[in-house]
Homo-oligomer: A and B are copies of this chain.
């Protein structure tokens, strides 16, 4: 399509992202990827030997893109309140601009639950470190002894699901595109508020 001077290999990867993200592994066609990159189909096989290889490259890029930033925020020096606000704000924005990414990743994880650990390591993601990080911060700043896992999943759920469920929400509530965008904009403040109010609730209970 574009006649930029980008080397072929990179154009192929970009084309592959576009196609795989939208149509998934089974729905994607090597021919379509080649066309999208403005390149002969054989060249795709020249750089990436097989469809599997190409898909893996695309998947890894997507996974890193999403998890890298997540990591960055959660291990930053911010206090827990700002951290939650930053996290939600960033993800609601980023995901609603790349609304195909999260579902693509989830589907990929279902198909290949095997090779993920090496991707975790590549992104310097350790389950234990993450859990400990959250636990300590919740304990020190909020003085709460609650399971960090549920909190973390709750934050993730409230940020990610509404983006994944875009078409469902649009249908259930009958929203126009404009109204939907406004809805996501609202969530950037609504979600942190909701979470912090809940956490405050635990605090009150505990210190009674």
Contacts and interface: CB of A to CB of B under 8 A. Distances in A.
Interface stretch (A8-16, A21-29, A75-83): A21-29
A150 interface: yes
- Chain A contact residues, majority secondary structure: helix
Copies of this chain held together in the complex: 2
A65 interface: no
Given A26-B23, A160-B161, A150 B110 contact: no
Given A103-B110, A194-B198, A157 B161 contact: yes
A156 interface: yes
A7 interface: no
Interface residues of A, number: 56
Contact of A198 (B103, B150, B173, B198): B198
A202 B196 CA distance: 11
A89 B55 CA distance: 37
A32 interface: no
Interface string A114-149: 001100100001011011000000000000000101
27 contacts: A23-B26, A24-B24, A24-B26, A24-B107, A103-B103, A106-B165, A106-B168, A109-B168, A113-B167, A113-B171, A127-B172, A127-B173, A147-B186, A149-B173, A153-B161, A153-B162, A154-B191, A156-B161, A157-B158, A157-B162, A157-B165, A160-B161, A195-B198, A196-B201, A197-B200, A198-B198, A200-B201
